[in-house]
Amino acid sequence: MGQYYMPTLIDSDGTIRTLYSHDYDNGLKLMEHSYIGNNFVSAVLSLIWKHPMKVAWIGDYSDDFLGDAYESKLPRDEFMEYYNAAWNNDRENYRVQPATTKLLEMHHKRRYLVNHTSRECIDLGSYIAANKWIEKGRYRRGIYDPNYSYDMCINPLPLLTACGNGRGGGDYHEQFPNYDSVGEWAFDLIELTDKRPKDYSVYDIIFTEQQAAA
């Protein structure tokens, strides 16, 4: 069955915020929305723009601990507090709906996804150049245009912060590059900014469903 995801952000004062993909006309599965320029992910990015927060893209199958990276980041009872905020009956109490802002699109060069916990950053301009591919064809006003082409690229934030990847349909699967890196930033302190931080190492990562893992 398909696994659904709820991005969950924890602010410095402990405030928990979640975002619901259907509020942005997006699917709930990880690889239905995890793309550069996607309006749902862009709304998440607006919350961490020059404002570091702990981030976890919590899957609804992630409450079974099976040895994934996020399980060692925090006690199980603390994880379940965030899981319940995302998925239990009172989840609407934590839900926010920030406006989509165009802080990260395919043309942006000076954008950095910063992990303050591990002191790493992704140069997103370089990441996009290395990971993008060309999609062809689109429907416009009910008419299919096979000659239209556009660039596509997986957004690394949902994958790096995903909890429970590999347990359901629509996940990023093991035949693709860096499957084992999915989730390694979950619950880390993350920021989107236009300034590269000093003394942080550059994290080069490939995420694509266009080629098999080496």
Query: Is residue 140 in a domain?
Result: yes
pTM of the model: 0.93
- Within the chain, which residues score under 70 in pLDDT? 106, 148
Single-letter code of the amino acid located at 194? D
Query: Is residue 182 in a domain?
Result: yes
Q: What is the residue whose two structure tokens read 């006690």?
A: 75
Per residue in 111-156, pLDDT (tens digit) is 999 999 999 999 999 999 999 988 777 777 787 777 767 789 999 9
The pLDDT value recorded for residue 64 is 93
Query: Is residue 207 in a domain?
Result: no
Cβ contacts of 200-204, under 8 Å, gap ≥ 24: 200/114, 200/119, 200/120, 200/121, 201/119, 201/120, 201/121, 202/120, 202/121, 202/122, 202/123, 203/115, 203/120, 203/121, 203/122, 204/122, 204/126, 204/127, 204/130
Query: Is residue 141 in a domain?
Result: yes
Query: Is residue 212 in a domain?
Result: no
Range of the domain at 42: 5-202
Query: Is residue 50 in a domain?
Result: yes
Query: Is residue 184 in a domain?
Result: yes
Number of domains in the chain: 1
The pLDDT value recorded for residue 1 is 78
The pLDDT value recorded for residue 97 is 97
Q: What is the residue whose two structure tokens read 């062809």?
A: 136
Query: Is residue 208 in a domain?
Result: no
